[in-house]
Structure 1
Amino acid sequence: MTKKELRKIYKEKRAAIPSKEKLKLDDVLLINFQRLYFEDVAVLLTYWAKTDAQEPNTHLFSGFLRHSIPGLQLAYPKCDLNNYSMEALQVNEDTVYYSNQYGITEPKEGIIIEPAEIDLVFVPLLVCDNNGYRVGYGKGFYDRYLTRCRRDIIKIGFSYFDPVEKIDDKNDFDIPLDYCITPESVYEF
């Protein structure tokens, strides 16, 4: 199937998950995420899950890492909607957030963290395939950003659904995940 077809199907599937079930699935995702060990991770680029899109609760995963890795720096994306690019802004307890026109919560301001400084990134997705290629929301923010990062950056996606066999219209600019965490398993690519 194409990204467009998969995007439609998995948006509908995710929207159909009852809120009580979603809470349980988020807990299971966290348990599966806790099975991984990250050595030498000092900077995490995460994102604020869109509740209206039923995204997995990334605060659970970043919160676990903050407790596991003393001194972990957190960053959130700040998007430039004119050219579909983004920067990672360092955040702390005083950071002020707002929602952009896509409904994405991002820091209002902050210190830019250079892509080469990021060790681990949580990448939003609807579903991925058996090779780690993902179906996101179709604007390419993360694929563009990841080309600027180190080759050894760890890329993790969280999905309520197991990978599909193949995305038919994957292109040369798509960057695969290293891991996809689902309620059923931890997939390593």
Structure 2
Amino acid sequence: MLKAELRKKYMQKRKALSTDEAFLLSEKIFENFINYFKPLPAQKAHIFIPIEKFKEIDTHILINYFLSRKIRVFVPKIADTKLISVEIFNDTKFEINNWGISEPISNEDSGILDFNYVITPLLYCDNKGNRVGYGKGFYDGFFESLPSGTKKIGVNYFNPDENIDDVWENDIPLDYLVTPTVVLSFLSKGLE
């Protein structure tokens, strides 16, 4: 299917989830992430803040876990037309931006790129790690700036069951997908 069709289909599937279903699925994603990756204190995680009106995965569960375990947490913020990484703490102040996204008040880019985990939003991911986002391209540009070896991880309520037919040359695939039922690795054997 084409990205536009997949975007529409998976937005509808997501909207069909009740608030309780979405939260329970988010908890299962959290458990699968922790059990698979076993994050450690002092590691660095870049993770998105969910857009509630789009019923994105509730990443607050992971963010709270990271902060309580002394794992450094960075969240994306759009400054001009670029995605920057702002470090957050338990007392960080947030505001709602023009797109309805909660983001830190600070505009200070941490300059950090050597994340252990970059957890990305998406609407769909196929079985090769190609993802369908919201079509703005912020994460593809961000992925280009990351050192090789950074784990690019998508989280989704749904497992891959169809291919993306219009993958572009500049699209950068994910390394992993975490769903409520499975963690998939798209890395070749020996690279993990």
Letter in 2 for 1:26: S
| Alignment partner of 1:19 is 2:36 | no
Letter in 2 for 1:131: K
Letter in 1 for 2:78: C
Query: Is the contact between residue 42 and residue 119 of structure 1 (CA under 8 Å) also seen in structure 2?
Result: yes
| Alignment partner of 1:168 is 2:169 | no
Shift of 1:123: 0.5
Q: Report the equivalent of 1:56.
A: 57
| Alignment partner of 1:36 is 2:33 | no
Shift of 1:65: 3.4
Shift of 1:66: 3.6
| Alignment partner of 1:147 is 2:148 | no
Q: Which runs of 5+ in 2 are unaligned?
A: 187-192
Structure 2 CA distance for aligned equivalents of residues 113 and 38 of structure 1? 24
Q: Which runs of 5+ in 1 are unaligned?
A: none
Q: Report the equivalent of 2:71.
A: 72
Query: Is the contact between residue 67 and residue 90 of structure 2 (CA under 8 Å) also seen in structure 1?
Result: no
Shift of 1:76: 0.9
| Alignment partner of 1:116 is 2:113 | yes
Shift of 1:26: 1.5
Query: Structure 1 residues 127 and 94, CA, compared in 2 at 3 Å: closer, same or farther?
Result: same
Q: Which of 99, 119, 122 is the aligned partner of 1:102?
A: 99
Shift of 1:88: 0.1
Q: Report the equivalent of 2:124.
A: 127
Letter in 1 for 2:3: K
Query: Structure 1 residues 61 and 124, CA, compared in 2 at 3 Å: closer, same or farther?
Result: same
Shift of 1:72: 1.6
Query: Is the contact between residue 115 and residue 148 of structure 1 (CA under 8 Å) also seen in structure 2?
Result: no
Letter in 2 for 1:105: S
Q: Report the equivalent of 1:178.
A: 175
- Provide Cα deviations, 1:15-69, integer angstroms capped at 9, x if missing partner: 00112222221222122112213567621111111111011111112333344xx
Q: Report the equivalent of 1:86.
A: 83
The alignment partner of 1:168 has SS state of coil
Structure 2 CA distance for aligned equivalents of residues 22 and 116 of structure 1? 30
Tell me how many residue pairs correspond in the alignment.
185
The alignment partner of 1:147 has SS state of helix
TM-score (norm 2): 0.88
Instruction: Report 1:1-20 matches (<5 A).
Output: 1-20=1-20
Structure 2 CA distance for aligned equivalents of residues 57 and 119 of structure 1? 20
Report percent identity of matched pairs. 35
Aligned-residue CA RMSD (Å): 1.8
Shift of 1:99: 1.7
TM-score (norm 1): 0.90
